[in-house]
Amino acid sequence: MQIKIRKLEGPAEPGVYAFGSVEVFDDSHRLVINDLMILQHIDGRLGVSFPDPQTAPHYGGGPMFELAPELRQEIANTFLDAYGELRHKDKD
């Protein structure tokens, strides 16, 4: 599985350092996640905020989809790395 940055822009508004989207794919499948945001935690670290999946009106309720914690972390790391590269380029 691979992760590709589709869009990374910012800053957007106070507190939002950057926003964008990623594509998670393999040879036969593709998933696009929009509305990722880079925010600052209270302790000063940067983190990635994922969109809140809507609750689907189906039997049993619950979120429409859920990412495995490992995949979620891999996406966050890729997005933060791309943001770091963007900031580094802006300083040059």
Looking at residue 10, what is its pLDDT? Answer: 84
C-alpha to C-alpha distance for 92 and 68, rounded to whole angstroms:
37
Judge if pTM exceeds 0.85.
no
pLDDT digits (tens, 9 = 90+) for 28-61: 999 999 999 999 988 888 999 998 766 555 566 6
